[in-house]
Amino acid sequence: MEKKKISFIGLGTMGGGMALNLAKGVEDFLAIDMSDRSLAPFREKNIPVSKKSADAASRDITFLCLPDGDVVEKVLLGEKGIARATKKGHLIVDCSTISYLKARELSEKLAAMGIDFLDCPVSGHHAKAMDGTLSIMCGGKKEIFDKIRPYLDLMGTTVIYMGDSGAGQLTKMINNCCLNICTASFCELMPLGVKLGLDPEALGKILMTASGSSYASKTLIPEILEDDFAHGFTMDLAYKDMLSMSEVCNKYKVPLPTLNGTMQTYQLALQGGYGDEYKGAMIRFYEDLLGVRCRKK
């Protein structure tokens, strides 16, 4: 692996584990976050840290894992943004989840400044980020992807080049929307079954094993049955992915009725006050509506 000065900005739920794994294979690594709590694991391992994103301007490659496209744009192109202070040839690898349209816009702006940009969003949860087994989908120049592939392999076990700029984010949006649609389906239907007399545990077992099963049902139904909705990726954040897909649909005039129906289910749950909980909590709206609970006895 070619020796490069690497920085990683955004050490939250996903970024923290990703950066720790990346640091294992990099001699000159800088971890950047404004939170002392997020920086603590790096200090414990004597990995250099900073609270200033501008410090990444002196590096060769900067990885990002930030909350949304507005934050990414500010860090890169804001008044004290990296792109305004760095040299030509700097490479930005954005592992945040932002919109397809925003990724393409940022890529164009950075290219005009002589800076390469790859959109490389990830799929997985906190445990996968910590053990380096994420799925990573990548968009941008193929030759740039090939150069940084060894770094991505430190963070994920499934690393796939998807195409030109924005292709990684588009893939992530489609994947997340499929997950959201599956989740909405059993969150609507399980309370109906229980209302009409079905046992929630027995119904849950069928939905996790029979032809209607999915990754969503296998992952979320056990948590619903345990009344466990405390996870890092909230329903508010999940809704963001569908909004991004709606922007694409509006731009290219593509009707997606199943996605639109799922968005309405999310909107009902968000209006019900469940936005800060994990996406499986949308079942609570339908439980309240029908006066039932889908929990273990």
The secondary structure of residue 87, as a DSSP letter, is P
**Pairing, β 134-139 against β 122-123:** antiparallel
Q: Are 107 and 117 in contact (CB under 8 A)?
A: yes
CA distance 67 to 88: 26
Q: How many CB atoms lie within 10 A of CB 209?
A: 11
Strands 28-32 and 5-9: parallel
C-alpha dihedral (221, 225, 227, 233), degrees to nearest 10: -10
Closest CA to 138 of 154, 159, 155, 124: 159
The H-or-E segment that residue 133 falls in is: none
Q: Which of 3, 45, 128, 172 is catalytic?
A: 172
Closest CA relative to residue 138, chosen from 124, 127, 123: 123
Is 52 one of the annotated active-site residues of the chain? no
Active-site residue numbers?
A: 172
